[in-house]
Amino acid sequence: MQLSYTQITAPANGQLGETHLQKGQYVQPGQQLFSIISNEQYWIVANFKETQIEHMKIGQPVHVEVDGYPDQEIKGKIVDFSNATDAKFSLLPLFQWIYPRY
């Protein structure tokens, strides 16, 4: 085997997430080996009542507090609202925001 012919590249900088590998396992071209969690930006998905989202709009800045990281300041902006607001998809409408990591 010529390992010098082997090249593994990542599409983005980040941390190794879930792996799908075991020692000695053979892999095929294009096979997903692991996931990468980006260090540059994160998506947060949240559910709100319809009465709460009437005051929200795309581009609006947000401040997020996470119980697991009480001292971490997380700022971002709303980038999208889901169209799936009826009972078929969810009891509550969904929106997403994104924030850059500084």
pLDDT tens digits for range 21-58: 888 888 888 888 888 887 777 778 888 887 888 889 99
- Does 3 map to a domain? no
- Does 89 map to a domain? yes
pLDDT tens digits for range 50-85: 788 888 999 999 998 888 888 988 888 998 887 765
- Domain count across the chain: 1
> What strand order describes the sheet that includes 94-100?
41-47, 94-100, 74-81, 61-64
- Does 77 map to a domain? yes
Which pTM does this prediction carry? 0.49
Tokens of 94: 């969904």
Question: Chain centroid to CA 34: how far?
Answer: 15
Q: What pLDDT score does 74 carry?
A: 85
Q: What pLDDT score does 93 carry?
A: 47
For residue 93, the tally of other CB atoms under 10 A from its CB is 20
Q: What pLDDT score does 87 carry?
A: 52
Tokens of 59: 């581009």
| DSSP at 12 | S
- The domain containing residue 95 runs over which residues? 10-100
